[in-house]
């Protein structure tokens, strides 16, 4: 069974700037850890990052028919702006968890609203890059229960 990890805009910069907020781990490290975690549980993990809203929408659409069972997404700043990404998830009906490295609720007010949280299965925020690991652990457990 297949899990898709999507990272949105600017997350390709992880580990190179703003380590005080986002830590020193690179996106390549996060993706390698996610693939290994999935493999250990018998799942394929595919990773996708884009700085473009439409590309993320297209990837979510493809998830409807490519065998993706669950999506873990850090939508980056599109969390707070993108009706299009919300509509894509609502349209494909593939379950997803939302991950934020930082605790968006203790940051600026504009980061407190998410267009995705109310249709996500679950939301992680403020656990650093461990949020991806924790979300994947949850997803792996969910897939077990699905048989």
Q: Which of 3, 4, 6, 22 binds ligand CA2 (CB under 6 A)?
A: 22
Residue 103 DSSP class: -
List 43, 78, 100, 132, catalytic entry = 100
Is 86 a binding residue for ligand CA2 by CB under 6 A? The answer is no
Q: What angle do CA 29, 32, 34 make, to 5 degrees?
A: 105
Strands 96-100 and 68-74: parallel
Is 81 a binding residue for ligand CA2 by CB under 6 A? The answer is no
Is 129 a binding residue for ligand CA2 by CB under 6 A? The answer is no
80 is catalytic: no
Q: Which of 3, 5, 6, 14 binds ligand CA2 (CB under 6 A)?
A: 14
* Encoded tokens for 5: 């990890």
100 is catalytic: yes
Helix/strand/coil (H/E/C) assignment for every residue in 117-141: HHHCCEEEECCCCHHHHHHHHHHHH
Q: Which of 3, 94, 104, 136 binds ligand CA2 (CB under 6 A)?
A: 104
Closest CB to ligand CA2 among residues 1, 55: 55
Is residue 144 packed enough to be buried (19+ CB in 10 Å), middle (13-18) or exposed (0-12)? exposed
Partner residues linked to 74 by β-bridges: 7
Enumerate binding residues for ligand CA2 (CB under 6 A). 10-11, 13-14, 17-18, 22, 74, 76-77, 79, 100-102, 104, 111
Q: Catalytic positions, please?
A: 22, 100
């Amino acid at each position: 069974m297949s899990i898709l990890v999507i990272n949105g805009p600017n997350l390709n910069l992880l580990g190179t700037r703003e380590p005080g907020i986002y830590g020193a781990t690179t996106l390549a490290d996060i993706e390698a850890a996610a693939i290994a975690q999935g493999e250990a549980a018998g799942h394929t993990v595919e990773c996708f990052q884009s700085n473009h809203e439409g590309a993320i929408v297209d990837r979510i659409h493809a998830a409807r028919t490519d065998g993706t069972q669950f999506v873990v997404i850090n939508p980056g700043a599109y969390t707070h702006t993108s009706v299009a990404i919300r509509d894509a998830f609502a349209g494909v009906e593939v379950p997803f968890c939302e991950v934020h490295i930082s605790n968006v609720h203790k940051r600026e007010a504009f980061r407190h609203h998410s267009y995705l949280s109310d249709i996500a299965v679950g939301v992680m925020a403020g656990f650093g890059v461990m949020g991806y690991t924790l979300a994947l652990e949850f997803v792996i457990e969910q897939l077990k229960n699905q048989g």
